[in-house]
Amino acid sequence: MTGAVFPASVPGMELPVELFLALRYLRPRRSFVSVITVLSFLGVTLGVMVLIVVLSVMAGFRQRLDDKIIGFNAHITVAMIDGEVLYDYDKVLDLIKKQPGVMAASTLIRGPVMVQFQNKMTPAFIKSVPVEGDDPVLPLRQYLIMGDYELRGDSVLVGTEWSKRNGAFPGDKIDIFGNAFLQAALAMSKGGKADNRNLPLPEEPIIRGVFQTGQFDYDLNFLLVSTEMAQHIWGMEDAVHGIAVRVKDPDQAELVKDQLNQVLPPELHARTWMDDNRDLFNAIATERVVMTFILFFVMLVAAFGLCSTLITITVQKSREIGLMKALGANDLQVSGVFLFHGVVVGVVGAVSGTISGLVVLHFRNPFRDFLLHVFHIQVFAPSVYGQTSIPAVINPVSVALIAISAVVICILAALIPAVSAARLAPARALRYE
């Protein structure tokens, strides 16, 4: 037996002997070790699946949020530093349009109002848009789902969520109380004079259409009116709150902003859409990192389970390990058996986890609707997340990295038992045989 040579492969088979023995140890048996092995498979599968699902949903949420913010807000907004209204904006408009990277620019009036419909008062925001054609800066016509895109005269467009909550639809008339009315009413109350002749009347526009951006907050809180009506509501005469700018590449808005701040008068300042939503984006990025870190521990737990399984196997199979070394197996071949064990668990778990994750992502919205209608469990509420459906963006690179990480973790978990088995002395293992 001393001169025997341990075979490099199984006779009649192409499998290396290390892989053959690893697969043999993975066969289900009625023992506690088999239960731990199954749990190791499930742990890796669940870890990979959950990571793929969560990261894809969060990436989709960020992308859809970017699209909706860019679709309803200007890439760059130019306004007074002190927050006052802007007069003589024609010169500023011409100056902005001449800058490189700027595609379009238009005036902007945006602010809070009170809206009355059928004796019900609700807060909202108005946003001014051009009367003729679509807005060159913010193409909002694409969001119209009901009625006509009409803003001439006494016309207003409302969001779909506001329309549902108030039961107001195209053809209904609403009352809009803006800054001019509220300031006049406040001055009259302080002065003690009830001269109704000095009190501006509220606007009484007719709803011409309903829009839906897919962003819950915009669809609930915003009304679109003409620039002339917005100026009357706010009592601004010939002034605006600022100038909305559209650039060729939204991701390069910071560069265009810096150029504008160099040529604009000192009392004006340009801000990008990222500046206005920086806190929100930072919160999303932090949440994504924290979720990745937490869910990564799911695979670590599975790796610890795999490590404990292999340690138990080395104890149970010590006689076989000693026999292998006595037949001429070297340390690398012995450790290879347990490393292949980890590779198989990692590969199978990564593949099954990837497939499960992609299936869950494909049926995410039907599954959400099923939970809501059958168990009355609301997942991803639109009022909280501002999304009417669960978004998802599947990044092949991220999916591949998650799967590879799972395999690497399983190999590292198998490394300690593999080294321990390789160091086992044949005489000690076969002492009582």
What is the pLDDT tens value at each position of the chain, 433 positions in all?
444 555 666 555 566 766 666 666 666 555 555 676 777 788 889 889 988 998 898 888 888 877 777 777 889 999 998 888 898 888 899 999 899 989 889 889 998 999 999 888 999 999 998 877 667 787 888 889 999 988 888 899 999 999 999 999 999 999 998 877 777 777 776 665 545 555 666 788 999 999 988 778 889 999 999 988 998 888 887 889 999 999 988 888 889 999 999 999 999 999 998 888 888 778 878 887 888 888 778 777 777 777 777 777 776 667 777 767 666 677 777 777 778 878 888 898 999 999 999 999 999 989 888 888 888 887 777 666 667 788 899 999 999 999 999 899 888 888 888 887 777 766 565 554 5
**Can you give the pLDDT at residue 21?**
65
**Can you give the pLDDT at residue 194?**
47
- Work out the number of other CB atoms within 10 angstroms of the CB of residue 248: 12
- Beta strands 175-177; 155-159: pairing state: unpaired
**Can you give the pLDDT at residue 359?**
95
Please tell me whether residues 222 and 91 are part of one structural domain.
yes
Considering the domain boundaries, does residue 12 fall inside one? no
Write down which residue in 245, 275, 305 finishes a domain: 275
Considering the domain boundaries, does residue 9 fall inside one? no
76 half-sphere exposure, CB direction, 13 A CA radius: 30
Please tell me whether residues 202 and 311 are part of one structural domain.
no
Write down which residue in 214, 240, 275 finishes a domain: 275
Considering the domain boundaries, does residue 194 fall inside one? yes
Which class for 257: exposed (0-12), middle (13-18), buried (19 or more C-beta within 10 A)? buried
Please tell me whether residues 296 and 386 are part of one structural domain.
yes
Q: Report the C-alpha gap between 155 and 72 in whole angstroms.
A: 19
Please tell me whether residues 78 and 59 are part of one structural domain.
no
Considering the domain boundaries, does residue 179 fall inside one? yes
**Can you give the pLDDT at residue 14?**
61
Write down which residue in 275, 302, 327 finishes a domain: 275
Considering the domain boundaries, does residue 46 fall inside one? yes
Domains: count for the chain:
2
Please tell me whether residues 86 and 202 are part of one structural domain.
yes
Considering the domain boundaries, does residue 41 fall inside one? yes
Please tell me whether residues 324 and 255 are part of one structural domain.
no
Please tell me whether residues 155 and 232 are part of one structural domain.
yes
CB 335 within 8 A of CB 418: yes
Please tell me whether residues 268 and 347 are part of one structural domain.
no
Considering the domain boundaries, does residue 5 fall inside one? no
Question: 20-26 — which CB contacts under 8 Å span 24+ positions?
Answer: 21/337, 21/340, 22/337, 22/338, 22/340, 22/341, 22/343, 22/344, 23/340, 23/344, 25/313, 25/317, 25/337, 25/341, 26/341, 26/344, 26/345
Please tell me whether residues 216 and 91 are part of one structural domain.
yes
CB 172 within 8 A of CB 206: yes
Quote the domain boundaries for residue 31.
Answer: 17-66+281-429
Please tell me whether residues 407 and 336 are part of one structural domain.
yes
Q: Report the C-alpha gap between 171 and 163 in whole angstroms.
A: 12
Look-up: residue for tokens 């606007």? Answer: 203
Please tell me whether residues 312 and 176 are part of one structural domain.
no
**Can you give the pLDDT at residue 276?**
81
Considering the domain boundaries, does residue 8 fall inside one? no
User: Does the pTM of the predicted model rise above 0.75?
Assistant: no
- Work out the number of other CB atoms within 10 angstroms of the CB of residue 372: 13
Please tell me whether residues 286 and 240 are part of one structural domain.
no
